[in-house]
Amino acid sequence: MLTIIIQSLLTHHTNRGLIMSETSCLSLAKKIIAGYRIKRGDDLSLFLKAPLAELQEGARLLQDHFCGKHVDFCTIINGRSGHCGENCKYCAQAACHHTGIEEYGFLPQETILAHARANEAAGANRFAIVTSGRALAGRDFDRAIEAYEAMRATCHIDLCASHGLLTRAQLRRLHAAGVTSYHHNIETSRHFFPQICTSHTYDDRIRTIKMAQEEGFCVCSGGIIGMGETWEDRLDMAVSLAELGIESIPINALMPIPGTGMEGRPQLPAADILRTIAFFRYINPTANIRLAAGRKLLPENGATALRAGASASITGNMLTTSGTTIKEDMAMIAALGLTNRTEDCQAVTGTCGAR
């Protein structure tokens, strides 16, 4: 676990050469722009005790430097819903939960293609098929490959995939089919993970992420906050993602769903979500910090966050909760002076990351 020293005064020194509790948010942001990177073991108390407005000011400086005015919009389709044999406490699709969600097998290719074309026409940057279950396999995996190949042949939108704990051979097939990004969350800290899932391990997820990176994917990996974890767990997750070199980090705020193991959890205050987004930007300065589920808990549906650390968002509906339309999000970023057109932003590389 991370060493987090939360004191009113801190007088000792570390070998890192940076005492964060004696550093302002802006000066830390400038150090990061100059090349400094936060590492495991650093004192991270500044992120918890700095006034939110000051923390966000530094996050905005970092965002402007590493992301420019660009916002990346991704869209998803729930390609196979429910009947999942895993026991993730937060998930409406786990078979052990009784949530009343719609359950169905892998969608017809025509349905997937229609959604991809519509999202591309609306201006989204990328499109992902997301499927329930430990890992997509058998004929359903073949159907997914066929759908990706058809999209690559007829669409120009970047293709992403989220199909669980795949094998290396499966990842290679996905990459050959035209998928450029693979999504696989770590969900929380290593310490807290057993509290939310016991049917697979944190290390199972790490292995999949590393394999995807080795096979040439840009990996999108983040987690969920508000499940009962501590601030230390959130900081630990941010550092773990930095250590993995993750390029796109979705931050979900738990939306407790009746019938799941998290149904009684209180919704997070907006200030807690905004603080998390801001310090993720300091710890992962070159990544796209992506708004995901729980955006509706934020001021102005996330507009504040998009000028204080967040440089990307899922748009449209989520897997099992409603979202915001692409048209609404396009209008929002235009009002903020931002754009999702990659040709307008030199900082964007064309991967799922900011730079």
Residue 12 located in a structural domain: no
**pLDDT confidence of residue 21:** 52
Q: Per the annotation, does 197 bind a ligand?
A: no
Annotated ligand binding at 290? The verdict is yes
Indicate whether 127 belongs to any domain. Answer: yes
pLDDT at 261: 78
Whether residue 160 is annotated as binding a ligand: the answer is yes
254 found inside a domain: yes
220 carries a ligand binding annotation: yes
CA angle 37, 42, 43 (to 5 degrees): 125
In a domain, 118, yes or no: yes
pLDDT score of 6: 39
Q: How far is CA 259 from CA 96, 101, 224, 256, 264, in A?
A: 9, 10, 18, 9, 9
Q: Is 88 labelled a binding residue?
A: yes
Q: Which domain range does residue 112 map to?
A: 68-344
Q: Are 121 and 133 in contact (CB under 8 A)?
A: no
Assigned domain for 53 exists: no
Per the domain annotation, does 29 fall within a domain? no
- pLDDT single digits (tens) 71-89: 999 999 999 886 786 778 7
Distance CA(227)–CA(233), nearest Å, equals 11
In this structure, what CATH number is given to the domain that contains residue 151? 3.20.20.70
Low-confidence ranges of the chain (pLDDT < 50): 4-17, 19, 318-321, 346, 348-350, 355
Q: How far apart are CA 268 and CA 322, in angstroms?
A: 18
For residue 355, being part of any structural domain is answered with no
pLDDT for position 318: 47
Q: Any known ligand binding at 96? A: no
What total of structural domains would you count in the chain? 1
